[in-house]
Structure 1
Amino acid sequence: MSETEQILRTEYSEIMQKSYIDYAMSVIIARALPDVRDGLKPVQRRTLYDMYELGIRYDKPYRKCARIVGDTMGKYHPHGDSSIYDALVVMAQEFKKGMPLVDGHGNFGSIEGDGAAAMRYTEARLEKITQEAYLADLDKDVVDFGPNFDETEKEPLVLPVKVPNILINGAEGIAVGMATSIPPHNFGEVIEGVKAYMKNPDINTEQMMQYISGPDFPTGGIVVNKDDLLQIYSTGMGKIKIRGRIEIEQVKGGKERIVITEIPYTMIGAGIGKFLNDVYNLVETKKTTDIVDISNQSSKEGIRIVIELKKGANATQLCNLLYKKTRLEDTFGVNMLAVAEGKPETMGLVPIIRHHVNFQYEIATRKYTTLLKKELEKKEIQEGLIKACDVIDLIIEILRGSKNIKEAKACLVEGETGAIKFKSEASKKQASELHFTERQATAILEMRLYKLIGLEIEALLKDHDTTLKNIAEYEEILNNRSAMAKVIIKELDAFKKEYAQERKTTIENGAEIVLEEPKVEEMDVVFLMDRFGYARTIDVTAYERNKEAADSENKYVIICKNTDKIGIFTSQGQMHLLKVADLPYGKFRDKGQPIDNLSNYNSSEENLIFVASLEQMRLHKMLFATKTGMLKMVDGAEFDVAKRTTAATKLSDGDEVIKIGFYEEEMHLIMQSKKGMFLRIEAGSIPEKKKGAVGVRGIRLAMGDELEEVYLMQAGENIVVPLKGKELELNRLRVGNRDTKGVKHT
């Protein structure tokens, strides 16, 4: 080890903690969350700036997206090309953004979830609004620039966005330990909200909502919880309930059809296909018999999903069913989280606008300071040239009498005449009184002779007047906040006039959907489940006709009501409930459905050991036995619960249920261990416990032994068990006491 190297010993957990915090902050600040000032994530900001730098303006030809992505990645964003292209695509999709920032040419995906074409095929350029409201004035020192990742380029730390983009386009992002979800809003409403804040900085959320009434999704739809919006916009968090828009059309023959013309914003993409499948399932599971056909007739003109109904169908009731059972009514989770002053912060509507307005004042101050500085420089030069025109003959004499430019400049600035030849002493004396500034002297020396023409001098005087007016205007804006506010508002009004659109989303207090479940006529059915876990129900008469085949082909055969529930018990101590009504009902030879699809049971992770109807359970006490020899009796009524999954028993670590059965009077229970121990006890000696209890010990097992099988035997019944080539008749076993070792049989 060299002298300069040294080993630093530190706690491993401290390094891990610091590294993870550094990583988390990097993701939060530099990747996943937008800046509250321009409403852009770094990848979006860098892509737009790169397009600006490449000159891909709205009035210029489109350029290949691959060129934009490659240039952005090479100069500013050292991450994967797909993340840059994905950001570029989303900024061009009018169904995702309230105000698209990129003008895409080619296949940029669809509202139905089709992906965009590869970047080598698509082209893009900036939208006009992006150029005018997002990237203008970058040459006027309005925002700070910083080095890029390899310090070979400069990039803006924030774009000088003049409209509240974070509200107009919304934002979605998942960081580490936090996420943002801001809905899009109406362009014109947001601008009115900004103007209202500038006129009254003490405005509250309720007053602000007179201008910004709520979100305006590009997909339209209906927000139905208007009364919740005040709380959401005050805290920056909450849930917006949105519904698709439905129209009921009359068709020939007295029929009706339901036409969905707008979808919830959350249904964009794969959600439309999922909705169509959900409607198919409503028909398949007989939740409705009124739907004849469904077709997706959506096109570039808009969404049009048509559901054909049979004659006499209740269209209103069916609309309620669609809202209740599909994603046609959905919730948009709002979490208005953004980076403000370098820190992630959840903000309400007014604080977001406050940050935006403060940023506008900062941009305006820097812009007009830069413009004022340029006008003052211009004024200085103009005044020098005007003064020079009055003494032009003397200046010509100085130039002709000077050996070099240095002597001439020294004379113009400081009046030094020693090295210059003059025609007369008067000229020399007049020259010694000259006091032009450095900048004026340089302009005079660079002045061309044609500037001495009368019209040119008039133009110079006119420019000087314009410059003086500009200086007065800029100084007024910089010294008077109300004057600056007028300038900002005037610009906002111009943007609103050109780019504002009608609101697409309706906001109202919609009535809660009440779904009248059709009354099912109660009748007896037979539940059949084969050894592969496929279940179905059939008519009792169909079962009786095929009783022998049904009993031999199925593992579980239960006569129950069609309004009942079936309990599925697993070795892990869980009970899953499924409604009999959810099972396919049909002919004896029809194929059933896997119970995995109908309940929370997962055959790949759980072992099924017992199945019974809720009606059976209510009428019986149930015996539980585990492989460690624990026993208990539970009142079956305890399993009449609303939850789809509940703990049927409590298990110790490593233990599992091996037997569940119904208790009958004078029943005996026989336990058989792996090491050949048998114990027969009266089932009535097992104490009754709650379903959440562990139970009591049934048999004392030797070290390394465990229960292999448990038999329930009725009085007078005999069960014969094969045992190492012999047979053991269980009714010959002597009845013992619970919690004893039992008898060994080999």
Structure 2
Amino acid sequence: MEDNNRIIKTEYSELMQKSYIDYAMSVIVARALPDVRDGLKPVQRRVLYDMYELGIRYDRPYRKSARIVGDTMGKYHPHGDSSIYEALVVMAQEFKKGQPLIDGHGNFGNIEGDGAAAMRYTEARLEKLTQDAFLEDLDKDVVDFIPNFDETEKEPSVLPCRIPNLLVNGSEGIAVGMATSIPPHNLSEVIDAVKAYMLDENITTAELMRYMQGPDFPTGGIVTNKDELLSIYETGAGKIKLRGKVETEKGKNGRTNVVITEIPYTMIGANIGKFLSDVAALAESKKTTDIVDISNQSSKEGIRIVIELKKDADVDHFISMLYKKTRLEDTFGVNMLAISDGRPETLGLKQIIKANTDFQFEINRRKYERLLAKEQEKREIQEGLIKACNVIDLIIEILRGSRDRTMAKACLVDGVTEGIKFKTKQASVMAAQLCFTENQANAILDMRLYKLIGLEIEALIKEHEETIANIYRYEDILERKSAMAQVIINELDALKKEYSQKRRTVIDNCEEVVFEEKKIEEAPAYCLIDRFGYTRCVDVATFERNQEAAFAENRFVFLVKNTGRICLFTNTGQLYTVKVSDLPFGKFRDKAIPLDNVSNFDSTREQLLLAVGQSELNLYRLLFVTKQGMTKMVDGGEFDVMKRTVAATKLQEGDEVANVCVYQDQKYIILQSKDGFFLRFEVEEIPEKKKNAVGVRGMKLSDGDEIEAVFYTKPGDETSVEYKSRTLVLNQLKPAHRDSKGTKVRA
């Protein structure tokens, strides 16, 4: 009896490694990376092929996107409708693709990042270029067809693309452990580069770039590092520096308007909104005081972002600041990774063109072999019909004398006359000499009588002459590589003539933008932080006019320098520093911002214990008290740091800071525990330690007890607190020494 419970032992790490590699290769080859031959990812290829199969051509009505997506998912791409629809949308967006492949009807999103409408609302059909350059010869067996995911349909392994689409439309994709990022290029220039390569396969990348200058982004803009492009196109990797196009116009009342008419390709989508907010932030943070207004006047006609400046503004300085402080100048990371011969490979410009050219020769070889076979078959039949017309009387006699089609066909092919009734012996002798082929005999038997009309016979002879000419032409194309190259070049010229566009991106060597921030004149200011952690700064004069309200409405009020930093100490023992220049500066009632927005402080998990100007810390010492009763004094100069986050003190496990205080002239410190013990001793008993020290014990605590509050008193001042419904005068507590238990206070 067979044991069905047999256990197969395997190494878990090996199994995981193999499974992950299989998954990674599936993502790389079958999902995320384009094929170098047609420049398409599998999902894009499947969408285009499905539209071709559904007959959604450029000259036919639009069809619902949902129909296309559903059909593609059901037949070819079982990976979810959202990925299919996203691929369809991107292929229809003219601001992302150099040459859109799909003609979208409806809301397909815009350059500012608004998404497309749901697939049930939008419609689509193929662009004419897609039919002419991607799908034209699919019926001529020029590419291999492979089974779909469930082996119920066939799909092309690659589309017979006539242009290097990988360069024309570029590609972006993230796989496992690798990513591709290829910029779009100008169709006319790419075609010229391909033709140059076909005429001289030893051409260098530098020579190819005489025809193809560099990327041509649909958003225009300026490429500023022309001299670095050669290295990028030789290696297939590098960084292209992009800059938006800026113009100046005369505004109202003698003002100057800075107008952005073209943006870097990397600003497509949400980054336009980010740019506008960055420009607004420059004004809010007082990095510039030249901005009067900013408006986005972009429309279908193109990008138009207008920044209105003051009359006396330094326009050149402001434009330089835009390039340096916003994404108006950006970099496009190039990594020309694609699937070549079934594996991912980083390709240079010449390698991409070579791969595409080899592919062109392959599909044209298969195309003309198929056409030649058809013409040869047609010639065979035509020759049989012409020959039959010359002996038509004999053939009619054979047909009339035969019992069935088989008998007549045997006579036409092999000259078998047995069983056929002939009128004369001479006809029988002539019939025995017939030797038509199978195809010719079938054509003769299927021929209609009207074909015997004189004009029809003349047309047949003329058609035969054309067939002979086609055969000679096809044989010449297949035998001579130069002849096939000329055919490919002619096709490229026709595509260039019909679909060429002017270059939109300027390629140049531009000087590095020089921008020096105007030095801020150092001046004192007051920082205000309310109990919700919102902060802002005001000048000294404003503070003095609203001093009473400032102290009443805010938890921390302290003097700072506008060029300095503020220090935030928290219960977790962290110190966060914030540049004063990052805080809003204005009128007393102006809007404040949360500390979370300008620092690493997290108000959801931390408590702010002390906020103070960094410059003030050098003059004083800080006194730390933790919940476990540890105390220490630290020189304020230790906190004069530039990092945004540092450890302000060292804590024992499970401990946190209960109080941080700037030590000035306090005489006594009073520690209050949760169990109601109060300990009063002189501050001078607390030793000075480094910030990374734990400190010394300030109060003996029972198990489960902890420091709940810390108070300070000065000589001559009477300080009282409310404790359990009674007023407690702290100065009247019995003085003790550090590291004692204190006095129990009862309600």
Normalising to structure 1: TM-score of the pair?
0.88
Aligned ranges for residues 531-610 of structure 1 at < 5 Å? Answer: 531-544=531-544, 547=547, 549-610=549-610
Query: Whole-Å Cα distance in 2 between the matches of residues 260 and 371 of structure 1?
Result: 54
Q: CA deviation at 1:266?
A: 2.1
| Whole-angstrom distance in 2 between the partners of 1:697 and 1:414 | 119
Q: Which residue in 1 is equivalent to 2:335?
A: 335
**CA deviation profile, 1:601-645 (whole Å, cap 9, x unmatched):** 221233323322221234455565655677777664454444433
Query: How far apart in 2 are the matches of 1:240 and 1:192?
Result: 22
Aligned to 2:510: 510
- Alpha-carbon deviation of 1:696? 6.3
Please give the residue correspondences for 1:94-173 in structure 2 after superposition, counting only pairs within 5 Å: 94-173=94-173
CA contact (8 A) 1:669 1:710 kept: no
Q: Tell which deviates more after alignment, 12-21 or 278-287.
A: 12-21
Q: Which residue of 1 aligns with 2:308?
A: 308
CA contact (8 A) 2:628 2:707 kept: no
Distance 1:376 1:520, change over 3 A: same
Q: Which amino acid aligns with 2:260?
A: I
Deviation at 1:21, TM superposition (A): 4.3
Q: Where do residues 697-708 of structure 1 align in structure 2 (5 Å cutoff)?
A: 708=707
Deviation of the 1:563 alpha carbon = 1.2
Moved more, 338-347 or 656-665: 656-665
Question: How far off is 1:552 after superposition?
Answer: 4.7
How has the CA–CA distance of structure 1 residues 712 and 508 changed in structure 2, closer, same or farther, with 3 Å as cutoff?
Answer: farther
The answer to whether the 8 Å contact 2:628/2:701 transfers is no
Aligned-residue offset at 1:553: 3.8
The alpha carbon displacement at 1:290 in A equals: 1.9
Q: Which stretch has the larger CA shift, 114-123 or 511-520?
A: 114-123
Distance 2:138 2:14 in 1: 43
Q: Which runs of 5 or more residues in structure 1 are unaligned?
A: none
Q: Which amino acid aligns with 2:231?
A: Q
Q: Which residue of 1 aligns with 2:442?
A: 442
Per-residue deviation, 1:22: 4.2
Partner of 1:431: 431
- Equivalent positions of 1:63-462 (< 5 A) are 63-251=63-251, 253-462=253-462
Aligned to 1:466: 466
Distance 1:625 1:209 in 2: 70
Distance of 1:61 and 1:624 partners within structure 2: 77
After superposition, the C-alpha distances for 1:248-280 in whole angstroms (9 at most, x for unaligned) are: 112464332111111222222333333233333
SS at match of 1:229: helix
Separation in structure 1 between the aligned mates of residue 202 and residue 572 of structure 2, nearest angstrom? 60
Q: Which AA in structure 1 matches 2:291?
A: I
The 10-residue stretch of structure 1 (496-505 or 632-641) with the greater mean CA deviation from structure 2: 632-641
Range moving further from structure 2, 127-136 or 567-576: 567-576
Q: Could you say if the C-alpha distance between residues 548 and 65 of structure 1 is closer, same or farther in structure 2, counting changes exceeding 3 Å?
A: closer
> What amino acid sits opposite 2:392 in the alignment?
I
Contact 1:665 1:684 in 2 (8 A): no
Deviation larger for 94-103 or 676-685:
676-685
CA RMSD of aligned residues (A): 3.6
Instruction: Kindly provide the CA deviation profile for residues 422-443 of structure 1, in whole angstroms up to 9, marking residues without a partner as x.
Output: 3344433333333222112211
- Per-residue deviation, residues 638-687 of structure 1 (Å, max 9, x unmatched): 54444433444566765544454556799998887768797979878857
Alignment of 1:19-58 (within 5 A): 19-58=19-58
Contact 2:679 2:736 in 1 (8 A): no
Residues 661-719 of structure 1 deviation map (CA, whole Å, 9 limit, x = unaligned): 55679999888776879797987885754x6x565675899997686369697997999
Give the secondary structure class of the aligned counterpart of 1:134: helix
Moved more, 188-197 or 390-399: 390-399
Number of aligned residue pairs = 740
Whether contact under 8 Å (1:669, 1:683) holds in the other structure is: no
Distance 2:603 2:580 in 1: 19
- Change in Cα spacing, 1:255 to 1:679, as seen in structure 2 (3 Å) is closer
CA contact (8 A) 1:666 1:683 kept: no
Counterpart-to-counterpart distance in 2, 1:678 and 1:483: 103
Decide which moves more: 395-404 or 12-21: 12-21
C-alpha distance 40-244 of structure 1, shift in aligned 2 (>3 A): same
Conservation of the 8 A alpha-carbon contact between 2:251 and 2:308? no
SS in 2 for 1:585: coil
TM-aligned CA distance change 1:288 to 1:545, over 3 Å: closer
What is the CA deviation profile of residues 49-74 of structure 1, one whole-angstrom value per residue up to 9, with x for unaligned ones?
A: 22222222222233333333333333
Shift of 1:518: 2.5
Q: Quickly say closer, same or farther: Cα 1:603–1:468, change in 2 above 3 A.
A: same
* Cα separation, 1, equivalents of 2:654 and 2:612: 26
SS in 2 for 1:323: helix
Residue range with higher mean Cα deviation, 655-664 or 534-543: 655-664
Q: CA deviation at 1:5?
A: 7.8
- Judged with a 3 Å threshold, the aligned counterparts in structure 2 of structure 1 residues 520 and 30 are, in CA distance, closer, same or farther, namely same
| Structure 1 residues 100 and 588, CA gap change in structure 2 (3 angstroms) | closer
Q: CA deviation at 1:722?
A: 8.8
Report if the CA contact (8 A) 2:666-2:712 is conserved: no
**Greater mean deviation of Cα atoms: 190-199 or 269-278:** 269-278
In the TM superposition, residue 135 of structure 1 has moved relative to its aligned partner by: 0.7
Q: Is the Cα–Cα contact under 8 Å of residues 241 and 330 in structure 1 kept in the other structure?
A: yes
- In structure 2, give the amino acid aligned to 1:167: L
Partners of 1:629 and 1:706 within 8 A in 2: no
1:159–1:453 distance in 2 versus 1, CA, 3 Å: same
Residues 604 and 212 (structure 1), Cα distance of their counterparts in 2 relative to 1, 3 Å cut? farther
User: Which has the higher mean CA deviation after the structures are superposed, 678-687 or 345-354?
Assistant: 678-687
SS in 1 for 2:135: coil
Distance 2:416 2:529 in 1: 114
CA–CA separation in structure 2 for the residues paired with 1:624 and 1:658: 8
Looking at structure 2, the residues matched to 229 and 704 of structure 1 have their Cα atoms a distance apart, in angstroms, of 71
Structure 2 unaligned regions, length at least 5 = none
After superposition, the Cα gap between the structure-2 partners of 1:730 and 1:612, relative to the gap in structure 1 and judged at 3 Å, is: farther
Contact 2:223 2:241 in 1 (8 A): yes
CA separation of 1:361/1:621 partners in 2, compared to 1, >3 Å: closer, same or farther? farther
